[in-house]
Structure 1
Amino acid sequence: MIRFELEDVVGRENVSTTEAERATYSVDYFWISRMWEDHGAEGPMADVIVRPGSSEEVSRILKIANYYKLPVHTWGGGSGSQGGALPMAGGILLDMKRMNHLISIDENAHSITAEAGMIFQQLEWYANERGYSCMHIPSCLTCGTIGGALGHRGVGILSSRYGKIDDMCMSMEVVLPNGDIMNTLPVPKHAAGPDLNQIFIGSEGTLGVITKATFRLFEQPECRRHRGFMFPDLTAGLEAGRDIMQKCQPSIMRLFDEAETVSIIKKIIGVEERGSFMNLTLEGIAKIVDIEMEMVIDICVRHGGRDMGSEYGEKWYENRITFFYPDHIMDIPQMFGTMDTVADFSHVEKIYWAMKNAIESNFPGVRFIAHCSHWYGWGTMIYDRFIMDDSPEDREEALRLHNQIWNTGVRAAMENGGVINDHHGIGLKLARLMKEQYGPAFQVMEGLKKALDPNGIMNPYKLGL
């Protein structure tokens, strides 16, 4: 009966209950889901896959789900690394990729509007055709959707200049759990109460379904110049990065610890030296970029950095996406995880050493590598990763060990002033630690959930809700 009701909304061809299709949506880029599949185990499956083609269809589906109290999970490109889209409670899985249409480009307002099921690369191509860019260039550019970027508060490599996805989004259309279709205010900077964008950005499908969004457009820069530096250690590089963010506005600044410099950086762009490598990009009007580059070089040299010229910076930029392809970094059957912790400049190095020592001392055979890839005027994030080459063959033992490493590393970060996630989201992987991170403040998030989704149908067990 429920299937027939869903078919009445979206058409028979857009509803599936076959085991093959349901299994397709049981694995995203979350390590545990991939390991589970690699071991031949069955992952969490939805009962029915539904592909809506409009906001009105999403509304009708949510009304059906609320009537029958069925869980609803929203699926974009399946590129998330935290298990945020996995259908842990069965029910309905909404594959949003039919909703992939460009709605408008307003060159006067410098904005672009599209449906949330569009792959972000396609949105960028539409902007490029008019001589603009969205300036959101994440590693999942070619496989992540607009809704996924917003749902997990994503970030791209140009964030230190242009901001994260929440800085780029002007307004959104959201279908609430009860089926109401709402729009946030047309501009984000106002004093008409809280910015509702910020309630739904980062909510990971727990408060509603994002169906459309409007983003800022940026003119393509007159020039984009790259540079590489080698610092004697992470400390010197962090000090230089802090000073650069106070005086200039690089679009890219990535500082790698020695462990990552001598492994991944050496492998991909050919750096042979030991130390902490930094690649940096400045862009904009050529005359201003020239002045900023002189300032950057002066700052880096003053902190003990060696100017390596433009070659290695250009090589890094050429490989900005392929860094994350198989055979370039860790991959199954290795055990690995990316914790991405964010902190202010007073705590970031303390957090790095606390996490590194906690993980490597408690788990023999596990390596800890890190880099700082997104910078703010007040601090930076640590893209901290653990890697274990010889993962346990028993899947239960592997799952237990994976969670133990995560608990140890993330708690070390929180105990030393870190926030547990910068841009990958919380999903299933970190949900259990959200109450520890927030303390009494978590009741605000629980209150929002209870008010908007009283039946608890939206993406259960994610975000700690």
Structure 2
Amino acid sequence: MSAELTPSPVSGGNYLRGVIERELASALGADNVSDDVQDRQDAAADWSWQSKFISYKGLEQPAPDFVVRPGSTAEVERVVQIATDFRIPVIPRGGGTGTQGGTLAPYGGIALDLTRMDAIVDLDEESLVVTVEAGIDGPTLEEHLNERGLTLAHYPGSYHMGASVGGFVAARGSGVVSTKYGKAENQVLQVEAVMPPGRTMTTLRAPSHAAGPDLLQVLVGSEGTLGVITQAALRVDPLPKRREFLSFSFPDIFAGMEAGRLIMTRRLRPATIRLYDEADSVKLQEWVGTPFQGTLMVIMCDGDDELVDYETRAITELAERAGGTAQGSDVGRIWWEGKYEPYAKGKLPQPPLMYGTFDQVARFRDLPEIYRAKKRVIEEEFAEYGARYTAHLSHWYDWGSMLYDRFYVDNPPEDPAEAMTLHDRLWDAGILTGLAHGAVLNDHHGVGIKLGRFMRPQLGEGFDLLRSLKDAWDPDGIMNPGKLGFGPPRAPRL
């Protein structure tokens, strides 16, 4: 009579997992590889409503099989090589502050945590260019630059939550002074990236050239679906000598939009313009303490005295021409000093409240009707749920602005499936309404898994061309699968 066999912990599928884990440990060191349940859950989570709702309900995040923490580009190469050999996904991760489900791992695989790669590689003070590893966070880099009288001038809402330079670039991120200093795609000059099957590419040293199409901007905004950004060279600026604040009230948001249009089409360059509708200005007062309710515009100009004096005079004239009434500098200063308060003190929305931020971008001519149409569709078609709509415009361009608009449902369904369905219906209504009136899908939060289904309606035939690029660069589909609308990898998960 044969003895009863004890199942081996490395038999069948577990055997393959063991092989992969040992290869990863050999490449990175055992301390930098984990299959611990909590580590895997933490690596999957981000700041999207879906992820927060999953945690609130005590459910499991769609998690990777392993979490690895490389310390160099060579180690990232080796991880991508191993992933290619076994045809398993790679999900790059920085600070995990995204809002689009970009770090969720619906197909398992390897979460590639880049936060160990946080070195400042070079500071070229003649050209005002800093080169850093992708895992460095904004405040750490800014402290180093400020000691030399410089700034990256990239201050997103996630600034003190761990947001990394790699995340800035990979999702085309933006900060509160982007109107003057640009978004991440304007500040990045060069990247190094690891692509399947483990090769490293570095884009050209100068971003302005006529040497064919720009590979830099193909990688910028690719959200880890084409490769892993491991280094970035970024333009930096001198710290401004002076900041001056203005604020104006308007009869309605449309008069404020006209003021913003006049300022930008006259090619003035305030560092910040933020225009709040009545509902959002109430929220701003509650969160930050600004002493005003109504349609509010806050402006900040910076630079040398002569420039600031000229811009504040010219902007005041244009704002008043559009119907604005000056509210003094204190409102703007209070906003500036308290801009991170909602993030630091837990005032951000959280489940069970249902919410979503569309942040679509459009030309000036289209913005008023986009606002009207989206407010109407959210508040009328979802009236049975008490849906509310608020908006502000916070990033301005020569040709238009972005609408940072949000829906709220105070008492969503308790059932997780019903809640997720309502959440997606609200997103469908808001996004498709925006697209129908000339908006572009997203300004600076990225696409992730949450907005992937809108990429084909947005791009049309262009989506198939983008997909063909993905297929050529990542033939097994292992790079952050499920994001940007690209769907699953070509191999089953472990």
TM-score (norm 1): 0.98
Secondary structure of 1:402 counterpart: helix
Q: 2:73 aligns with which of 55, 68, 88?
A: 55
Per-residue CA shift, 1:270-302, capped at 9, x if unaligned?
33443x100000011111211111111111111
- 2:407 equivalent to 1:403: no
- Say whether residues 1:44 and 2:62 are aligned partners: yes
The answer to whether 1:139 aligns with 2:157 is: yes
The CA distance in 1 between the partners of 2:287 and 2:211, in whole Å, is 51
**Residue type of the alignment partner of 1:47:** D
Q: Following the alignment from structure 1 to structure 2, what is the Cα–Cα distance between the partners of residues 323 and 23?
A: 25
2:52–2:350 contact (8 Å) kept in structure 1: no
Within a 5 Å distance, the mapping from 1:242-321 to structure 2 comes to 242-247=261-266, 248-265=268-285, 267-274=287-294, 276-321=295-340
CA contact (8 A) 2:287 2:341 kept: no
Indicate conservation of the 8 Å contact 1:330/1:387, yes or no.
no
Unaligned runs of 5+ in 1: none
Which region of structure 1 is more displaced relative to structure 2, 448-457 or 253-262? Answer: 253-262
Secondary structure of 1:253's counterpart equals: strand
2:97 is matched with 79
Structure 2 residue matching 1:67: 3-state secondary structure: helix
SS at match of 2:420: helix
Instruction: Spell out the pairing of 1:63-462 with structure 2 (5 A cutoff).
Output: 63-142=81-160, 143-247=162-266, 248-265=268-285, 267-274=287-294, 276-364=295-383, 365-462=386-483
Q: Secondary structure at the match of 1:436?
A: helix
**Structure 2: distance between partners of 1:222 and 1:242:** 27
Question: Do 1:71 and 1:92's aligned partners in 2 also have CA atoms closer than 8 Å?
Answer: yes
User: What CA distance in whole angstroms lies between the structure 1 residues aligned with 2:98 and 2:346?
Assistant: 19
Aligned to 2:491: none
CA contact (8 A) 1:264 1:329 kept: no
- AA partner of residue 96 (structure 2): G
**What's the secondary structure of 1:392's corresponding residue?**
coil
Q: Secondary structure at the match of 2:404?
A: strand
Deviation string for 1:413-461 (max 9, x for gaps)? 0000001100000001100111011111112210110110001000001
How many Å separate the matches in 2 of 1:319 and 1:80? Answer: 21
Q: Distance in 1 between matches of 2:212 and 2:34?
A: 42
1:43, CA displacement in angstroms?
1.3
8 Å CA contact retained: 2:288, 2:339? no
Secondary structure of the 1:98 match is coil
**Residue identity matched to 1:91:** G
State the 1:140 CA deviation. 1.0
Q: Is the 8 A contact 1:340 1:421 kept in 2?
A: yes
Q: 1:92-140, CA deviations, whole angstroms, 9 ceiling, x for partnerless residues?
A: 1111111111111111111111100111221111111111000111111
Distance in 2 (alpha carbons) for counterparts of 1:3 and 1:43:
21
Q: Residue 36 of structure 1 aligns to which amino acid in structure 2?
A: I
2:198 aligned counterpart, secondary structure = coil
Residue type of the alignment partner of 1:367:
R
For 1:414, the aligned partner's letter is L
Contact 2:288–2:341 (8 Å) recurs in 1 = no
**Cα deviation digits, residues 177-201 of structure 1 (max 9, x gap):** 2111110000100110112110011
- Kindly provide the CA deviation profile for residues 16-51 of structure 1, in whole angstroms up to 9, marking residues without a partner as x: 011121121232101011101111111111111111
Query: What RMSD, in angstroms, separates the aligned Cα atoms of the two structures?
Result: 1.1
Distance of aligned partners of 1:70 and 1:229 in 2 relative to their CA distance in 1, 3 Å threshold = same
CA contact (8 A) 1:266 1:272 kept: no
* Residue identity in the other structure for 1:55: T
Counterpart residue identity of residue 216, structure 1? R
Contact 1:228 1:277 in 2 (8 A): yes
- Give the aligned residue type for 1:70: I
2:56 paired with 1:35: no
TM-score by length of 2: 0.92
User: Which shifted more, 320-329 or 192-201?
Assistant: 320-329
Q: How far, CA to CA, are the matches of 2:482 and 2:52 in structure 1?
A: 19
Taking the aligned partners of 2:201 and 2:219, their CA distance within structure 1 comes to 12
Larger radius of gyration: 2
Counterpart Cα distance in 2 of 1:420 and 1:319? 29
List structure 1 runs of 4+ shifted beyond 6 angstroms.
Answer: none
Conserved in 2, the CA contact under 8 Å of 1:264 and 1:328? no
% same residue: 42
Distance 1:176 1:325 in 2: 36
Which blocks of at least 5 consecutive residues in structure 2 are unaligned?
A: 1-18, 487-494
**Secondary structure of 1:288's aligned partner:** helix
Distance 2:235 2:287 in 1: 36
Contact (CA 8 Å) 2:243, 2:300: kept in 1 or not? yes
In structure 2, distance between residues paired with 1:411 and 1:393: 26
> Does the CA-based 8 Å contact 1:133-1:219 persist in structure 2?
yes
Contact 2:173 2:183 in 1 (8 A): yes
- Partners of 1:337 and 1:204 in 2: CA distance: 20
